[in-house]
Copies of this chain bind each other. A is one copy, B any other.
Amino acid sequence: MDTILLKGKPVRDAVFAELKVKVAQAPRKPGLAVVLVGDDPASAVYVSHKEKGCEEVGFHHVTHRLPADTPEGNVLDLVGQLNADPAIDGILVQLPMPRKINQEKVLGAVDPAKDVDGFHPVNLGLLVAGNPRFVPCTPKGILRLLSYYDISMAGKNVAVVGRSVIVGRPLSLLLSLKREDANATVTMCHSGTRDLAAITSAADVVIAAIGVPRALGTNEIGKGAVVVDVGINRIDAPERPKGTRLVGDVDADALKGHVAALTPVPGGVGPMTIAMLLENTWEAMAGKEGLDENG
C-alpha cells in the first residue's frame, strides 16, 4: 500500500498566503504578544518560529521575555497590561511556565477575547457547548490538515490517544461536533486504557499525542488507517551529525506501506499549529474591528 504523507507545509503556506492578503487590506495590523517566562530551550525555539510567522504574514508582534524567577504577580500584571493594550489582539502564554507559577491562574487571567491559544476556561467551555470561539491551535490545525487532503472524518471511528488539555481533550470534543469537518465517533484513550492496541487497531483514524517516541506501530495500528502523529520527541541518533533526531509518537518507518496516510514528524502537524495561531489572531482582530471573516 502506498502511504500518503500528509505534509503540513503546503497547508500552512495556503493559510499564510490568505492571511497576507487579508492583512494588506485591513485597517491595521493584527497584534500578537507572546509571554515567555524562563529559559526552556524548546520554548525558545517555538517562540522564535512564532515570531518568524508573524513577520511573514505582516503582523505586529512583541515578545516579553521574563527570567525564570519572575514572581507570579509580575506575570499577572503583564497579562493585565496586554489585556488593556489596543494594539494587541492575541496573547500567547508560552507553556510550560516555571513550577512556582500557577499556570492555570495565568491562563485564566488572559482576556478570553484575546485568548488565541484557546486555553482559557471560557473558550474550552464554548467548545464543549458546541459553540467554539478560539479553538486550541493543534486540534484546529489537525482538522484543517485533514480537510486539505480531503480526508473526511464524518462517521469515522477515531482513536485519540493521550488526554492532555492541549491536544487530546479539546481534539476529542472538536472531532465529535456535528459539523462538516468533524462528526466522527471518538474514543478517548489514555494511560488508564485497558487494551489500547485492541482499540487503536480497529480504528479508521489514530491520533497519537502521548509524547512517547515511536510508541505505536503495526501491532497497534490497522492496515489502511489514517495516522496523525502529534508527538515531537528528540532521540539519540549516533549516525546523524548532531547525534539526535526528531521522531513522533508512532513508528513512521514501520507504518509506511501499512497505513493509507500519515503525518510526517517533523513537517506534519507542527507547521499547522503556528498557522492556526496566526489565524486565531487575525480572527481576534477581525472580531474587534467588526470585519467580516474575510476581512
Contacts and interface: CB of A to CB of B under 8 A. Distances in A.
Contacts of A178: 163, 190-192
Interface in A161-198: 163, 165, 169-170, 172-173, 176, 178, 183-194
Nearest to A130: B165
A67 interface: no
B170 A128 contact: yes
Interface residues of A, number: 39
Contacts of A185: 187-190, 192-194, 199
Nearest to A129: B165
Nearest to A199: B185
Contact of A125 (B128, B184, B189): B128
A126 interface: yes
Contacts of A125: 120-128
A96 to B, nearest CB: 15
Nearest to A177: B163
Contact of A190 (B121, B170, B176): B176
A163 B179 CA distance: 13
A155 B124 contact: no
A154 interface: yes
A128 B168 CA distance: 10
Contacts of A155: 192-194
A126 B130 contact: no
A192 to B, nearest CB: 4
A219 interface: no
A103 B129 CA distance: 12
Contacts of A122: 121-122, 125
Which of A178, A186, A192 has most B Cβ within 10 Å? A192
Interface in A111-169: 119-131, 154-157, 163, 165, 169
A186 B188 CA distance: 6
Given A125-B125, A130-B165, A187-B187, 11 more contacts: A104-B131, A121-B125, A124-B125, A128-B128, A128-B165, A128-B170, A128-B173, A172-B188, A176-B190, A183-B192, A185-B192
29 contacts: A104-B129, A104-B131, A120-B125, A121-B124, A122-B122, A123-B125, A124-B129, A125-B125, A125-B126, A125-B128, A128-B128, A128-B165, A128-B169, A130-B169, A155-B192, A155-B194, A163-B178, A169-B173, A172-B172, A183-B190, A183-B192, A184-B192, A185-B187, A185-B188, A185-B189, A185-B193, A185-B194, A186-B187, A187-B188
